Every structure is written in structure tokens, then in C-alpha cells.
Structure 1
């Protein structure tokens, strides 16, 4: 492949193909694992396609009949094998293929060990955690069903679901549920339903089978496709004892397709019974509340204030009259006592008043300024004075000096 060429000095295509064949022939042999598909034979050669179990990749392999027949048990379509292959380039046809030099079937024990390793990876990544899983809607409008074409699993899901809720709607996507095309078809149907806005739940259903038959539902690419789904996924693969890895990551795991129908769709009879029970319970609660309120109202109405409201008014009026009479008596008594006290004070005042003395015939002599004359020696002839009597007064003048 290191020959120098140019538009003026090209190589013949046979030389190019021979150089490619020589380069590929130097690659040697390698052990490879895959799943057999498109198995056929012509003459002394067996032709098959070796498909990758995870990715959508395959390669053509030619196997001498002796090598194929020496493999025990003899491989069939869908079997997983480990093959010692070497690359070959056919110059005459310009095609590439692998030649099988030795073939060994992958045993059940080895498959189980690989599945266990993948299970541990899934658990370690948290893909099986309950917190990640979503709840199913109570009554999905449309259910997407992925199953085999005209399979018993399809009949079980549809019949049981419609028996429980006759109005339920399904969109069915028939796919291969075993063999080399199962993973690709199931994954494609899963993505189709997940992109459909009407589908609220996706059910992946398959009947029972051997470990090899159920291997597609433990495929890592399918498992991760389920994890990436935004729509809740129900896994209903095989029977109760079957446990493909799809069960770990699905939002709900059903033991059988019939169980999937029961988990996804509520029973109309059970719901009607529940509604009736709740209605009866609500009626009892409301009736009890009304009875309690009626008893309370009757007790309130039986109280004197409400039973005979006029009597209460009369009683209050009697209390008001009694208080008024009491106030009147108290005020009258207070006035009487005050009047007696006033009369007593007036009598004392009259007794002590100079006017009373004047009433008895006495008089008071006063200077013009009002000062009382207490001694005659204080007077002088010609000095004006006033003589005050009880009812009036008279002015006088001192005519003589007072006698000693």
C-alpha cells in the first residue's frame, strides 16, 4: 500500500485489491463473540452472519463444514458463540469476510456469569434504585404494548385489561421477542412509543421461555434505552421465576403479562365498589355531623333565654325596677339625712349668729368703717356711729364724753 501513484501512473485495480488482500492477511486471527443469524450452507461451506449482542453491528463469516459440524452442540440461528476468525479479502469479487477456524458455543454458566456482571454494573450505577422509578398513572388514556405478533402475551394483556376497564385504549407494536433482531426491534418500538404524546404507559410483554430465549431482555442497550425513557415502562417478561435485567430498571415489574394488565389498568368493579364505600362513608359522616348539630341546636333552644325570651325580658325589667326603687330609696334616704344635717347646722348657726342676739333686743354699735365699738372710752364727742338692730340700723353722734 506504499506504492506511489499519480493520475499519469495509476495502478490497475487488480493490483490494488491484491495489496489490500496482502495487508488484511497480515492481521492474523482473533477470538470474537456474537450471535449467529442468517445461517445457510452451500456445498462444503456454511455461511452465517455474526451479530454483536449489544450494538447494531454484524459481519459475514464463512465456516468450513467440518469446523461447523465439529461444534457440539451444533449452533443454530440465534445461538451465541465464540469464534476464532481471521479476516480474508476476496480479490476476484473485491469483498471482505471472516473465515471461522474454530467455533465454541457460549454455555449457560458463562451466560449467567455475564448477566451477573452486567447486573452488578446496573446496580452500581443506581439504575435499579426505587427513587428513580416513576409511578404509573391511575387510568392511562392510551397504553403502548410491545409484544410478539399474535402472541399469547398480547392476548393476555389486551383481554385482561379490557375485562377490567372496557374503555381502555391500546397501541400495539408487534416485534421479534427472541432471536438476533429482538433487541433492535424492541428498542425501536420503545423509542417510538416514548415519542408519542398519547401513550402514557409502555408495557413490554413476552411469555415464558428458556434463558437463551429471554436473553434479548437482558441486553445492555435495551436496558439503557428503558432507563432513558420519559414514559413509565412496565416489564412483563416470562413467568414469576424469570428475572431478566429489564425487570431491574423498569418502573414496574409484573410477574406475567396478565399481572401487567392488572397493574396498569384499574378494575372498574373494584373502583365502583370503592366509590360506593366512599359515598356511604361520606353520607355517614355528613349525617352524623347533622345529627350532632341538630342536638346542639335543640339544647340551645331548650335554654330559658331562647325557650321563653319574653320571660327573660320581664325578669330583666323586674331587676331594673328593683334597682330603680333601690336607687330612689337610697337617694331619698341620703337627701333626708342631708336635710337633717342641714337643719342641725342651721340651728347651730342661728344659735351662734349675732343676728339671734339682736333678735332678742340687743344692738351693735359700729364705727362708720364697720368696726364694732367695744368700750365707751374709745369714743369722743361728736364722733359719728351706727347702731345696728336686728332689721335695720340708725346713725348717731356722740354728744358727751363717756362717763368713767
Structure 2
């Protein structure tokens, strides 16, 4: 339960320490794994004091155990060894210090380490961290190269010397860290984050010389592997020699067999590039010369063609053709106009023959009723109507004094109708 306190009734230090000790004592015994960072065996004391550090973080815990428990481990424990401790958490009230009282210590064997690495490798592969599609290409000529390696190490010297020998103008941003032991991963992680956040760094090399499986364990640490997989900057793994294969090689964007090989892969060789540029120039000149030669031959061939040797001959020929076509066009148009004129004359004659005026000119007239329509029979008029009689030339008005229908027509009219020839 929470301890009740206030400014007026504070809790003494001893009460706090005793409460913390009581809570920790209820945790029970646990198994804990880590890497031995420090071993302190005091002369004449039956107790051995160990510092157990987390391989992936800057976190450690004090281990106290009896000398007989410590010396029972085979092979003998040394600093840097990976161990599993069975013990009970303990809180020492007078000093308010936390520790684990170790009752059994087991050293992690090489076979178990390799089995754990294989399990971790399978887990990360299933998550897709080794997918080739995730790998970023290395820049052709990096402006600045980030290097994470041990201080004054052979790996650092190999990378710097070989890179500057190949491209003297290359710049390096070197961060020295531990490359083995319990402090390696806690130091490499912030160094990697620092270089990845630097906009001037175009590629990062993590380099270390060869060593045993235990020495190279930091480069198979899960936290480091995931950090490399999340980097935006391409990462080159240059750990150990050709046979060495930590998990970092699988997640890195490029795996170099040695630190020297990493330098060769990251920066180009200035001599090789100059030779390549010279060869490209020679190829370009040869290509241009071939193109010019081909175009000159084509131009000479064009100049020898008749159309270019005597260009006016083509114009003269086209002029004759144009004159002939003009003559033929005018002749064709003339014939068409003549035929059209004849057709128009014939049509005009037929129209005139059928025109009412032509009938009037032959002696006939047109009688119009007062309503204005032509009178076709005597039945259409009445006595007293004023008729409009039109001739070929002029017109007269006539009043109807008497109407003779067909049935009572006068004998003169009847005889005229019966004898039209008279």
C-alpha cells in the first residue's frame, strides 16, 4: 500500500528504505542474464562482488555471491563473459543500495550463444529486416564518410589510409567507441544515431578487426541490428575478416569482407576514374569523328545529285507544266462556258414560247374579272361587271351588257364552236 505522508508529517529515510526493502524482498528469486563488467574479490572475504551489465544498454546491477559459488564455475569467470545468474533481489537498508544475491552462476557456452544467434537471425529475417529491397545504394562519391570503430585500432587505420589513398579529398567523421565487451553496444548506438542525423554524412562504416565469436557478439546484438535497419543513411558493415559473419552483415546496406575492403567500396579510385574519363573522351572523339565523316559523305552525295547541280532545271520543268495546265484549264473553262451559253439560249427560247406574253402577241387577250382572276368561262361573270381586258400592248375596260351561257349560246357562237376551222 502507498505510504501516507505530508509536509507536516514526513516519512523518515529509514522508513522509506525499510519499505523499499520489504517490497523488493517479496519479488522472489529470478534468473538474470548479462555480461560481467567487473569482478571484485576482496582478500580474506568470503564474498565476491560482481557488476552485471546489460549488453544492449548502459544499465548494470550489483551481484554479491559467495566465493565458493563464484569459483565453482568452469571455466573460470573473467570480465566480459556472458553469464546467467540465479539469485534473489536484495535491498541493503543502511546504504539504500540494490543488489542481487547470487546463489548460482552459469556461464553461457559457445554452443548456446550460437543457437541464440540463429534464433535471433530467424526472428529478424521473418520481420523482413534482411530483405534486399530495404537496402539503400551506396553513393558514388560521398562528401563525408562516418566511421565507427575502436580508438587507434588497425581497422581505423586501414579504412582511413586506403580511402585517402584512393580519393585524397574524402572527408571522415570518426567516432571512437568500444568494439567489444559490455560497453560496446551502449556506445555504438548513440554514435550511430549521431552520424545518421548529420546531414553532411553520406555513408556510415562500422569497422572492427577480427576476433572470436564472443568478441564479435556486440555486432549481433538485437538493439544494434534494429538501429541499423532504421538508419536513413546507408550503412556498411566491415567486421572482422572474410569468415566472420555477425548479424550486422545481413542488415547492413553493404557487407565488406574487411575494413580495407570497406574503404575500397565506399570511395572510388581517383586513378581508375581518371583512366575511365580519358577512355570516355577518346570514345567520344571517335564517335564524333565517325559522325562527321558520315555526314560529310552524305553532303557530298547530295551535292552531286542533279537537283542540286542544276536547281533551275527543275524550276523550268515545273514552269512548263504550269503553263500547259493553265492553257488546258482555260480551254476547258471556255468550252464549258460555250456549252452553258447554248443551253441558256435554248432554255430562254422555250420559256419565251411558253410565256403568256407570247400568246398575247399572237392576237389573244386576257380577260380579268373585277376580283382580279382570269375569266375562263361566261358563267364566271354577270351583267354589269366591269372586265379588264389586257392585250400584248395596252388594256381596256369593258362592261358586260349580256351573258351567254353554254346552253343558250347564240347560233353564231355555236356554229363557231362546231366549226373551229371557219
Alignment match, 2:268: 266
Q: Report matched runs for 1:66-85 at 5 Å.
A: 66-85=68-87
Q: Which runs of 5+ in 2 are unaligned?
A: 332-422
Give distance in 1, aligned partners of 2:301 and 2:8. 120
Give SS of 2:202's match.
strand
Q: Is the Cα contact below 8 Å between 2:55 and 2:186 reproduced in 1?
A: no
Distance 1:320 1:108, change over 3 A: same
Alignment match, 2:257: 255
Distance 1:274 1:83, change over 3 A: same
Give distance in 1, aligned partners of 2:256 and 2:219. 14
Give SS of 2:213's match.
coil
The answer to whether residue 19 in structure 2 is matched with residue 25 in structure 1 is no
Alignment match, 2:91: 89
Distance 1:12 1:276, change over 3 A: closer
The answer to whether residue 116 in structure 2 is matched with residue 114 in structure 1 is yes
Give distance in 1, aligned partners of 2:304 and 2:158. 67
Alignment match, 1:38: 38
Alignment match, 2:194: 192
Report Cα offsets for 1:258-286 as digits up to 9, x if no partner.
11011100111111111111111111111
Alignment match, 2:302: 300
Q: Report matched runs for 1:257-336 at 5 Å.
A: 257-309=259-311, 312=313, 316=317, 320=320
Give distance in 2, aligned partners of 1:301 and 1:180. 85
Alignment match, 2:218: 216
Q: Is the Cα contact below 8 Å between 2:54 and 2:182 reproduced in 1?
A: no
Residue correspondences, number: 324
Alignment match, 1:100: 102
Give distance in 2, aligned partners of 1:2 and 1:250. 49
Query: How far 1:203 moved relative to its partner?
Result: 0.5
The answer to whether residue 170 in structure 2 is matched with residue 168 in structure 1 is yes
Report Cα offsets for 1:286-342 as digits up to 9, x if no partner.
1111111111111111223333556x479859x959x99xx9xxx9xxxxxxxxxxx
Query: Structure 2 length normalisation: TM-score?
Result: 0.71
Give distance in 1, aligned partners of 2:2 and 2:267. 68
Distance 1:314 1:24, change over 3 A: closer
Query: Structure 1 length normalisation: TM-score?
Result: 0.74
Give distance in 2, aligned partners of 1:84 and 1:128. 35
Alignment match, 1:230: 232
Alignment match, 1:183: 185
Give SS of 1:199's match.
coil
Give distance in 2, aligned partners of 1:183 and 1:221. 8
Alignment match, 1:341: none
Query: How far 1:75 moved relative to its partner?
Result: 1.4
Give SS of 1:97's match.
strand
What RMSD, in angstroms, separates the aligned Cα atoms of the two structures? 2.8
